[in-house]
A and B are shown apart, each in its own frame.
Chain A
Amino acid sequence: MALSREQIAQRVAQELQDGYYVNLGIGIPTLVANYVPENMEVMLQSENGLLGMGQFPTEEEIDADLINAGKQTVTMVKGASIFDSAESFAMVRGGHVDLTVLGAFEVDVNGNIASYMIPGKLIKGMGGAMDLVAGADNIIVTMTHASKHGVSKLLSNCTLPLTGKGCIKKVLTDLAFIEIKDGKFHLLERAPGISVEEIKKLTEGELIVTGDIPEMVF
């Protein structure tokens, strides 16, 4: 079975480490916050100027001056800090964020990522995504492996305008956990019940399969 959105988030959460500062993009990445293991401290960075983002507020706690990068009302955890946008992106570009999780339309074997623009459709902008992929060393891209029509999103060359060049090393899809190195995709793990053949069929870029590929464990 292909992973659900929640399972993708759950698998990403296994990559968290105690004491990590983490930036989570909009969509599936946001769900990762729900699966932080107990006894582990993780501080969430929101690029509009908050380190230590907490859960949504109650009706009584709502504060128009406290939102996240998705413009949703949020709260702060104990030990949070506030800063301006230039400082926020100094953290990002300066490589101070330990893990960045974000979505994409396409990735390719050279670590290129396309995530912000589909020509001919309305272009809303890249927000902070270009800074995040340029600045972070440890990035996990979460996405569906292929379109509804079975068209692969893991390509030999991205077809859409790029968000970043040569910056992606790890991709978690609903079918597989993949590492990108030396201009190839390397299959690390399979979603439970998904065969290597199925993954190969839906991966347009070159996919290296070495030995037995374990199933993901939840």
Chain B
Amino acid sequence: MAGFDKVVSSYEEAMAGLKDNMTVIAGGFGLCGIPENLINEIKRKGTKGLTLVSNNCGVDDFGLGILLPDRQIKKIIASYVGENAEFERQMMAGELDVELTPQGTLAEKMRAGGAGIPAFFTATGYGTPVAEGKEDRQFNGRNYILEEAIIGDFAIVKAWKADRYGNLVFRKTARNFNPMAATAGKITVVEVEEIVEPGALDPDQIHTAGIYVDRLIQGTFEKRIEQRTTRPSTSQGDK
């Protein structure tokens, strides 16, 4: 590895330095666009006491949900959770600390963290349980609450393609939280489906610039689907 080349050769190397009690920001929405192999590596390492920042927490046997059985997660900051039985059990038993955060606020917390903005005002959550203990203020007659930025010791990200310099392109709605997560990690690790040579990606079409990326690895992905909804194909006739 030299210069701007961010490519690492193993998942072990990709997650080197992750220690107990660190904060990890993860991209993904549901099971879409999640860094599935990087999550597997965290499970393999057995790192414990983690604070995870992610919109969701996977399902029982896929995504971040696989970190639950060995109690690797101490706290999760998410907008929507509980789509797995073990999560529900740990939450109800008080073994897992859950900080529910509105989805837009969560995205903005990551964006702000990566952009050097320590906090921001938002109307979201004013007058609700989310506002408890937070400063509020009026602007132009409307009430807003102060929300603080989030920075992770690690950010784990899934992109579609990258060049060796870590310039990233995402695909369809697998983009979701990944670009913000990429900016908000002290160490940002990205896994992609394909790595190309610098210059092979059109600079105008790059979603995330390589400056945010520390380590890059090419993986193979299961891409599990959470809700497989279809319509009959027109060739089969009826609607």
Q: Does B2 contact A (CB under 8 A)?
A: no
Q: Which residues of B contact A58 (CB under 8 A)?
A: 230-234
Q: Which of B104, B111, B171, B225 contacts A93 (CB 8 A)?
A: B104
Contacts A84-B107, A128-B104 given; indicate if A164 touches B227 (C-beta within 8 A).
Answer: no
**Given A67-B29, A72-B229, A86-B110: A123 in contact with B100 (beta carbons within 8 A):** yes
**Nearest CB in chain B to that of A69: its residue:** B29
Query: For the complex, is B96 an interface residue (Cβ under 8 Å from A)?
Result: no
Most chain A CB neighbours (cut-off 10 Å) among B102, B126, B179, B227: B102
Stretch from A43-51, A139-147, A189-197, A202-210 at the B interface: A43-51
Look across to chain A and name the residue whose beta carbon is closest to the beta carbon of B160. Answer: A65
CA distance A31 to B233 in the complex (A): 20
Across the interface, do B180 and A47 meet the contact criterion of CB distance under 8 Å? no
B44 within 8 A of A: no
Q: Are A65 and B103 CB-contacts (below 8 A) given A85-B29, A134-B123?
A: no
The answer to whether the Cβ of A104 comes within 8 Å of any Cβ in the partner chain is no
In the complex, chain B residues whose CB is within 8 Å of the CB of A211 = none
Chain A hits for B228, CB < 8 A: 62, 73
Interface string of A75-87 (1 = CB under 8 A from B): 0100000111110
The contact string, 1 if C-beta is below 8 Å from chain A, for chain B 75-116, is 000111111000010011000001010111111101100000
A58-B230, A134-B124 given as contacts; is B100 within 8 A of A126 (CB)? yes
Q: Interface of chain A, helix or strand or loop or mixed?
A: loop
Q: Is the CB of A126 within 8 A of B126?
A: no
A47 CA / B92 CA spacing, docked (Å)? 29
B218 on the interface (CB 8 Å rule)? no
Q: Which residues 173-210 of B have a CB within 8 angstroms of A?
A: 173-180, 207
Contacts A84-B177, A135-B123 hold; do A164 and B128 have CB atoms under 8 A apart? yes
Closest to A117 in B: B129
| B130 sits at the interface (CB 8 A) | yes
* Interface: B125 (CB within 8 A): yes
The 8 Å CB contact of A161, one of B123, B128, B170, B224, is B128
Interface status of A66 (Cβ within 8 A of chain B): yes
Binding site for A on B (CB under 8 A): 29-33, 55, 78-83, 88, 91-92, 98, 100, 102-108, 110-111, 122-130, 143, 160, 170-180, 207, 223-234
Asked if residues B225 and A164 are in contact (CB atoms below 8 Å), the reply is: no
Least CB separation from A66: chain B residue: B172
Contacts of A89 in B (CB 8 A): 103-105, 107-108
Contacts of A126 in B (CB 8 A): 79-80, 100, 102-103, 130
Is the CB–CB distance between B231 and A130 below 8 Å?
no
A84 touching B178 by the CB < 8 A rule?
yes
Interface residue ranges of A126-159 to B (CB < 8 Å): 126-131, 134-135
Q: Which residue of B lies closest to A53 (CB)?
A: B173
Cα A161 to Cα B127 in complex, Å, equals 9
Nearest B residue to A73 via CB reads: B229
Nearest A residue to B144, CB-CB: A134
